[in-house]
A = this chain, B = another copy of it.
Amino acid sequence: MMGFYDDIRADLLAGRWERGQRLPSIRAMAAQRRASLHTVVSAYGRLVGDGLLEAQQGRGYFVAVQGPLAAPAAPAVEPALPDDPLFRLLQAPPGSVVKLGCGWLPLPWRDTDLLARAIRRTARLGRSGLVEYGDIQGYVPLRQLLSAHLRQAVRLDAAPAQMITTLGATQALDLVARHLLSPGDRVLVDEPCNGNLVRLIRLCGGEPVGVPRRQDGPDLGFLDEVLARHRVRAFFCNSTFHNPTGAGLTPQAAFGVLRRAVEHDFLIVEDDVYGDFHPGGRQTFAELDGLERVVYIGSFSKSLSASLRIGYLACPQDLVAPLVRLKLLTSVAVPGFCERFVHTILADGTYLRHVRAIQRRLATQQQLTQKALRERGWRFEVAPAGGMFLWAGHPDLPDLAGFIEGLEKKGILLLPGPAFAVTADYRAMTRINAAHFSPELARAFRV
């Protein structure tokens, strides 16, 4: 793999193809040089990152017209985590493969014109915002708008003083886990769940315990069994469009968890990053609890832009100062420019219009995807009406590893079920992102 990238790079620098010329397709190149599709994908991706190639969606790869072709050959930039399947998924360049197992919306769904215009508008505003550290707790006008947004969307009364902006929801989860957890603390999580959450909890000294997620919410019977045996510090839980099952939360389930949280004295850390994909009145823990023992986390990475990394949390009053202090010590502040950008987008109604369009498309995609998969024998315990995710298996495939490998050869990337496990065996399952599904892909799912 190292050899192939170097070979193509050397050819490029030696002028084998003209600037602007189209390179052989991934399949053709793989056949010509007897390399795997994955090797070619990876090399083309790196060469795009080097500025030597340009990827034109639907048309292929071209030798870059501008860029460092005349520069002295820089050493190859190796990916740091080559073995991590989520990492490989993240780093495969757009247009080279179908990232059917990823956790974000396709590039064509993003209104990049809107984003670019809003960026330019933001750059014309208050110049001190371009250079100063700003409010460490988070740009005040943004916190006020977020407070209004939550009041309207979630019927939650979160004062701006109880809100903190963060570098995406990930930093919010890290600040809370780092502050709350002592070594050995047991921490409940959904099962299945985001594998990086499990790793984060362990990093902070916690011991993750999975609670099976059903269509209506966490499995209360299982929860009672765990609580009978152990003390528990917190429950980190996705409320709306759970990752990876797409499950939601009924009022009864929310109340059931909250009641136990009061009785057994644990906190709920509610990750609602997919909440804005919900068209109507979604159920949250925070609404019932009013930020007594719930920390509510949201983000704009999924619905707007992962590149701007703006997330936020709303928390109980006594957690504000320690979390702000932790944010100050470890990162000082979130980029003020990005905060002002999100403020711009929220204040003029752009965000709401954008998100309603996404809600409608996701509903359509879910129907299309579920129909196509069901017709080919695939099964899913939860059939979501929206959001991105579908957690599926096939009764004839007790282990999907071979199937996933076969799909990779066809340029379709899925994550193996075990990537979402705490202790359960999910070899028979995989997460499908309905936003990336299309009728052409359906035949690949014939078993």
Contacts and interface: CB of A to CB of B under 8 A. Distances in A.
A76 B140 CA distance: 10
Contacts of A287: none
Given A107-B128, A115-B130, A309 B334 contact: yes
A45 to B, nearest CB: 10
Contact of A116 (B90, B127, B132, B161): B127
B306 A170 contact: no
Nearest to A103: B133
Given A75-B161, A80-B320, A130-B112, A332 B143 contact: no
B81 A331 contact: no
A269 to B, nearest CB: 15
B112 A131 contact: yes
A136 interface: yes
Contact of A131 (B127, B305, B334): B305
Contacts of A120: 119-120, 123
A289 B338 CA distance: 37
Contacts of A304: 131
Contacts of A107: 127-128, 131-132
Contacts of A132: 94, 104, 107, 306-307
Q: Is the interface of A mostly helix, strand, loop or mixed?
A: helix
Interface stretch (A227-235, A321-329, A373-381, A402-410): A321-329
A43 interface: no
Contact of A331 (B49, B130, B167): B167
A410 B348 CA distance: 41
A371 B185 CA distance: 58
A294 to B, nearest CB: 19
B140 A80 contact: no
Nearest to A143: B77
A96 B260 CA distance: 50
A290 interface: no
A203 interface: yes
Nearest to A80: B324
A185 to B, nearest CB: 16
A134 B93 CA distance: 9
A51 B135 CA distance: 13
Nearest to A83: B321
Given A130-B112, A140-B77, A309 B328 contact: no
A355 interface: no
A36 interface: no
A119 B121 CA distance: 10
A337 interface: yes
Contacts of A137: 79-80
A160 interface: yes
A124 to B, nearest CB: 7
A50 B144 CA distance: 9
A225 B218 CA distance: 58
A141 interface: yes
A133 B124 CA distance: 25
A91 interface: yes
Nearest to A141: B51
Interface string A170-208: 110010000000000000000000001001100100000
A440 interface: no
Contact of A338 (B131, B174, B325, B338): B338
Contact of A335 (B325, B330, B338): B338
Contacts of A51: 141
Nearest to A119: B123
Interface string A147-175: 10000000000011100000110110010
A317 to B, nearest CB: 10
B307 A168 contact: no
Contact of A332 (B75, B159, B168): B168
B135 A49 contact: yes
A110 interface: yes
